[in-house]
Amino acid sequence: MREFILIKGRTGPGNWRFWKIKHRGKKITLLFGGYGESGNRRIIECADKESAIKDVEKRIREKLKSGYIECTPNTESPPTDATREGLEAALTDDPDDLASHMAYADYLHEQGDPRGDFIQIQLALEGETKTKAARKRLEQQEKALRTEHEHRWLGKLSPSLIAQEDAPGIYVVGDEFCYSYEYSRGWITSLEIGLLGLDMGLKMAESPELRLLKELTIRSVLYETTRRKGLDLPRTSGSIGLDALAKSPYLSNVRKLTLGENQGDEVTELLPLLRNMPKLEVLTLQLAGASDFNDILKLELPRLRELIVTDMSEMRLHLGAIQKNKSLGNLTHLYLQIAPSVNYDENLESPLRIQDFRAILRSKHLKSLKHLGFGISDVGDAGCNLLVESGFLKQLESLERPGGTITDEGAKILADCPDLKNLKHLELSENALTDDGKKIIRAVLPHARMENQHAEDDQSFLLPEWMREWDDWYEGEWE
């Protein structure tokens, strides 16, 4: 049965339409209706089998002309082709090699595969010398090929990516689709998932169509505990969609991973996934309830340039491992901002401590680090002194220390260091600076950011912003 959808607008499937058609002998079966509904069924009997085939082809042409997109999953395995397999292996080994892409496109074109034409058009669009009219013609051809053939190129992912099937009940990607993606040179190179569930995780793990994927964004991981027979997944994990994805052999070219809210409760759930991404360059994580970050920091990630870790739940980082990891020599950006436990404990403790800051400054392997962010921390003036004494300030271009306990004394320590003036960006918001302390810093760096300072004994900076707003409302109601 061939499947088609009509996407109306970009606000979700509420007003989409589906249409399915199949024939058996001289009988044609139609299924149609609103997306997500059971729909209506219609049986048409033709004069003979040949008439039924012609009628099906005519109806499909009419649907495509009216804006429907085919999303029939391609479950057939392609015939063995040693030349094609060799070309694809070369692309997997070096996805940036233009010559390999051109050779692959030429081969597909010679075999009569329209994907070869699609790749050739995308390669042509990379050039900057095309006239506006020529570019428009190429883009129209690109769109026509994608509309007609994409469902075959996506394999098992076709129903999910085109028709948003298997999307969990709550999904957000710009208030539009749960799954969005982009092509480059005929391959999916960027994929964004609003909410990753088990079904999508399993499909991705079995999809060689993702072997050239470069950017993967997962906004949130669905918390699931129901196990299915025959699946070898951790018994204690609640993030089984992520566990299923971690078994994929097709993620070796991922350069940028953004992982949002992890509804599981163990950081070790991420390790198998990260081990499958040896070319990772940018890693952005929001971890929930992790007890130790050392396991991730011990991984060999020699290409990693940016590491950003944020969280709004209880977690204690232990950064000792970062001091010993020899593979982090290419790291240029390190940003850590972790909120403490969300409660009203009068003795709130910062999740980032002086020993964590010291581990970064003493590392002999972070020689490329230019941008350091160490937010929501109580290292204060002692941290300023460590930074200056270590000489680490010499190599930095930007320093962000929002949410802390730096006082005027710390400001003077920084301002007295000749290396401070080399910073292109300095952020000291939400510390304990007075107007005098701000003047000391601005005498060296006039454009330094120092908004929302607090009293030296005020620990409210340790609370998430939403809780501070709730406190303000609560106090206002009862005054």
Percent of the chain scoring above 70 in pLDDT: 80
As given in the structure block, the two tokens for residue 233 are 């997944």
Which is more confidently placed, 419 or 270?
Answer: 419
Amino acid present at 435: D
DSSP 80: P
Q: Which of 221-225, 306-310, 319-323 has the lowest mean pLDDT?
A: 221-225
Q: Which residue has the higher pLDDT, 227 or 308?
A: 308
pTM of the shown model: 0.80
Q: Cα(35)–Cα(14) distance, rounded to whole angstroms?
A: 7
Q: What pLDDT, on the 0 to 100 scale, is given for residue 314?
A: 53
| Predicted confidence (pLDDT) per residue in 55-103, tens digit | 999 998 888 888 887 877 766 656 668 889 999 999 999 999 999 999 9
Instruction: Give the tens place of pLDDT for each residue, 342-395.
Output: 554 455 667 788 888 999 999 999 999 999 998 888 889 999 999 999 999 999
**Residue labelled with tokens 């069924």:** 41
Do residues 342 and 320 make contact, with C-beta atoms less than 8 angstroms apart?
Answer: no
Phi, psi (deg, nearest 5) at residue 128: -100, 0
Side chain identity, residue 68? Y
C-alpha to C-alpha distance for 69 and 403, rounded to whole angstroms: 50
CA gap 413, 379 in Å, rounded: 14
Residue 288 pLDDT greater than 70, yes or no = no
State the pLDDT confidence band at 315, using cuts at 50, 70 and 90.
Answer: low
pLDDT at 403 over 90: no
Query: Given this model, what pLDDT does residue 105 score?
Result: 95
339/65 Cα distance (integer angstroms) = 53
Phi, then psi, of 244 in degrees rounded to 5: -65, -45
3-state secondary structure of 420: helix
The set of residues, in sequence order, having a beta carbon less than 8 Å from that of 44 and lying 6+ positions away, is: 27, 28, 29, 30, 55
| The pLDDT of residue 291 | 46
How far apart are alpha carbons 375 and 431 in whole angstroms?
10
- The pLDDT value recorded for residue 470 is 52
Query: Using an 8 Å Cβ cutoff, are 356 and 322 in contact?
Result: no
Which tokens is 171 given?
């999904």
**Rg of the chain (C-alpha set):** 28
Q: How many CB atoms lie within 10 A of CB 289?
A: 14
Are 335 and 308 contacting, i.e. CB atoms less than 8 angstroms apart? yes
Mean pLDDT, rounded, of the chain: 84
Tens of pLDDT along 241-258? 888 899 999 999 999 999
